[in-house]
Structure 1
């Protein structure tokens, strides 16, 4: 290939700009963007740089000096400068409203990495697990306020599920400010909710009945609910839908609300905490949906390139 000369700041900016445009064009084959076919070509790519030069920059793309010093415990050292730069704008550009959600995403990746995860419930099924904290309501729903990439090191003072929530809330600086957090049953526990309550943060989520501190005598029947409340105002409620649904909340009572008629004109009743949870957990799902509509990431076997081209979209 030609063009193996040193790059410049301006050329790198042009390269990143072309990466953004790839998401807007949505062509399956990257080479089609430099095609000379009038029906396929996109003149801005050829006018900015040659295809060979673009491929050279892609193959040589690094974000840290491989020969420099780096922490042996930091498995993200290849991307650490980028992550540190992104963390600050995420907090300064936008402040989420009251309702936020924490959940995990799976960024599809077919290369090799010690932290690869398999999750049959996700569309990608195999890839890199990412914990995300997103806004849940308003026009900014789906905006990512903080994220952490799982690298197989979740040990700490708290259990892994609790640590994931605490790290994100601390990173986004949302604790002690009156936020309301929504989580699913992998994160929810009385221990976590008591901790958040002490940090002036209410929480709502589905919960596993075998969690430590959960009441052992919950038994909901069809058309009825069963609930318990703690002295601090934590509600544990079980509602029998198609199967038992167990909820934990520090922001709700056992109130049951009537929903608008469905398409068949049938009115239904649900516990208010269930309705609130269904609305509040949309943040991360919407974030993943928006990400799919902007496919700037192309195939790569380098995990740090995959993460870089995904996290700044």
Structure 2
């Protein structure tokens, strides 16, 4: 697709799979090896120099690849606002499921944010979140952060659902997202879903129970299906740990008084047996044990999968930028592929597995060597400028070296100042050190 896009722009990039892999390797390398600017990866300055990137690819070639890099053919774009990157995420999801389908029992569903500060109609603003500006992706992950299903959010849409009459009923966004994400699950009874109050409603819990899914989620007051629970203001007056619950035989709601009042709904789990939770008491100036319904503890244990994935993605997020609006989404997907591969690595090797950083370094280094029988030999001499203070130091003298461009007049010469590392003619020597 990169070659096709270059031809559409009347250019010739003539790249191949090995070179694109090296391009990906440099992109991943920028996630853990930071320099102030992109060009500094090719700098020859002692305090900025990077050994492996200049040996992998020239800066001009990398910039050309980044200009023409594409995922899909612009002349055959599928419908949708995120059409230029959506097929990439669809392919990622398919690859994640090839590992063995959805193999985790506890699955958390939540939103994930990709930082972006440019202009695009899909960009979101979420007040109070760690990443306030960016693209929103609906994610379904395992308890340890392995991604199974994902969907780029391109705007609020409601799909009409045919009812028994001629009228149509609008499906809420949360219900539609849940239905789309769990469509990849083949054995519903082997999994338990966890989600927050953005998605949870009485109708959704009933629908999931009919499909065979177990589910637990926090719920808003107006979505409990008019469950006659004790009012939050009344429950807040009681001791910490007190709770109230109601059920209709299929769905059960539990309202618990913690530091604030929280309501949880489930289509299979009950509040009993009660557990103990450790909380700090301001009155007693120490930690005390309070009552906690079982359903609350289960929700706390099963809900953190997407948040864990977000922490792993943000740990070594690629820093090389582009003017393409979909670039951040693409680099996020590439980063996610490495995190998913590392999770599989941990499942297979257990305690002998590499750390996240060591695994990323291994992937990046191997990718930058892909298809190279030997490292690229850099042409020319040092390109970094020499400070005036260094030029003032002594001694400076000319000696013989291989032919190259003079740092002053740019003509060929076989003389250089060994102290500065710059090729210079005899007549240019005084001007350069003036």
Q: Same fold (TM over 0.5)?
A: yes
Q: For 1:245-264, list aligned pairs within 5 A.
A: 245-255=262-272, 256-259=274-277, 264=286
Match of 1:269 in 2: 291
Q: For 1:174-213, list aligned pairs within 5 A.
A: 176-211=188-223, 213=225
Map Cα deviations across residues 35-87 of structure 1 (whole Å, 9 max, x no partner).
21234322211011111211111121111222x2334x322321244223212
Give 3-state SS (helix, strand or coil) of 2:108's partner: strand
Map Cα deviations across residues 113-143 of structure 1 (whole Å, 9 max, x no partner).
112111012112111111011111xxxx011
Q: Which one of 91, 94, 97 corresponds to residue 91 of structure 1?
A: 97
Q: How far apart, in 1, do the equivalents of 2:51 and 2:186 lie?
A: 45
Q: How far apart, in 1, do the equivalents of 2:287 and 2:328 lie?
A: 47
Give 3-state SS (helix, strand or coil) of 1:33's partner: helix
Checking the alignment, whether the CA contact within 8 Å between 2:114 and 2:134 is kept in structure 1 is yes
Q: How far apart, in 1, do the equivalents of 2:204 and 2:43 lie?
A: 55
Q: How far apart, in 2, do the equivalents of 1:89 and 1:243 lie?
A: 41
Instruction: Tell me: CA distance 1:268–1:83, structure 2 relative to 1, closer, same or farther (3 Å).
Output: same
Note if 1:165 corresponds to 2:178.
yes
Checking the alignment, whether the CA contact within 8 Å between 1:111 and 1:300 is kept in structure 2 is no
Match of 2:389 in 1: none
Q: Which one of 210, 214, 229 corresponds to residue 247 of structure 2?
A: 229
Checking the alignment, whether the CA contact within 8 Å between 1:297 and 1:310 is kept in structure 2 is no
Instruction: Tell me: CA distance 1:28–1:229, structure 2 relative to 1, closer, same or farther (3 Å).
Output: farther
Q: Which one of 61, 65, 72 corresponds to residue 57 of structure 1?
A: 65
Higher mean C-alpha deviation, range 203-212 or range 213-222: 213-222
Match of 2:165 in 1: none
Higher mean C-alpha deviation, range 15-24 or range 260-269: 260-269
Instruction: Tell me: CA distance 1:213–1:80, structure 2 relative to 1, closer, same or farther (3 Å).
Output: same
Give 3-state SS (helix, strand or coil) of 1:102's partner: strand
Map Cα deviations across residues 228-258 of structure 1 (whole Å, 9 max, x no partner).
11222x2101112232211101232122211
Map Cα deviations across residues 266-307 of structure 1 (whole Å, 9 max, x no partner).
222212211111121111111100011112143334222111
Higher mean C-alpha deviation, range 75-84 or range 196-205: 75-84
Note if 1:16 corresponds to 2:21.
no
Q: How far apart, in 1, do the equivalents of 2:27 and 2:195 lie?
A: 33
Q: How far apart, in 2, do the equivalents of 1:266 and 1:236 lie?
A: 26
Higher mean C-alpha deviation, range 30-39 or range 256-265: 256-265
How far 1:174 sits from its partner (Å)? 5.1
Match of 1:82 in 2: 88
Checking the alignment, whether the CA contact within 8 Å between 1:106 and 1:122 is kept in structure 2 is no
Give 3-state SS (helix, strand or coil) of 1:103's partner: strand
Higher mean C-alpha deviation, range 158-167 or range 206-215: 206-215
Q: For 1:84-163, list aligned pairs within 5 A.
A: 84-93=90-99, 95-136=102-143, 141-152=144-155, 154-156=157-159, 157=161, 158-163=171-176
Match of 1:244 in 2: 261
Q: How far apart, in 2, do the equivalents of 1:280 and 1:116 lie?
A: 29
Q: Which one of 281, 293, 306 corresponds to residue 284 of structure 1?
A: 306
Match of 2:327 in 1: 305
TM-score by length of 1: 0.89
How far 1:26 sits from its partner (Å)? 3.5
Structure 1: unaligned runs, 5 residues or longer: none
Q: How far apart, in 2, do the equivalents of 1:261 and 1:240 lie?
A: 12
Give 3-state SS (helix, strand or coil) of 1:288's partner: helix
Q: How far apart, in 2, do the equivalents of 1:212 and 1:276 lie?
A: 19
RMSD, matched Cα:
2.2
Q: How far apart, in 1, do the equivalents of 2:287 and 2:129 lie?
A: 33
Give 3-state SS (helix, strand or coil) of 1:284's partner: helix
Q: How far apart, in 1, do the equivalents of 2:185 and 2:37 lie?
A: 41
